[in-house]
Amino acid sequence: MSVRVQGTVANPSERGLRTGLEFIVDAGAIYTVIPKSVAERLKETGRRKFKIASGDVVEFLVSEAYIIINGEGVTSVVAIADEKTPVLLGVTTLELLGLKLDPVTGKLTPLELMIL
């Protein structure tokens, strides 16, 4: 089941520089993945290696972006990919937003936040 959500990617320093995107919620992806055309408004912070679905290891640029889903926003590390790569909403961003994917309903639900 493919779960898609509408969201916004903005520059964390200048949140008026924003773009709306449709994300595929991917509970197996650590980072959120956005296309290079959207990342032009962001400052690249480095490169990291990622294992992709084929098993290959590839290197992507990374940046920080302000991600807004369901009216809530957070700054999160994102991977910057080419235009052919799917736009993914990864687990790190979901957790920062206080959300999780309910595998039964296929919907985003509030995450039980704990400080122990």
Percent above pLDDT 70 for the chain: 99
Characterize the bridge pairing of strands 3-10 and 44-51.
unpaired
Q: What pLDDT score does 103 carry?
A: 84
Separation between Cα atoms, residue 24 and residue 40, nearest integer Å: 21
- DSSP state string for 81-102: E-TTS--EE-HHHHHHHTEEEE
Domains belonging to the chain, first-starting first, are 3-110 (2.40.70.10)
Q: What pLDDT score does 16 carry?
A: 87
pLDDT digits (tens, 9 = 90+) for 88-112: 999 999 999 999 999 889 899 999 8
Q: What pLDDT score does 41 carry?
A: 86
Helix H or strand E segment including 15:
none
Strand partners, 3: 25
pTM of the model: 0.91
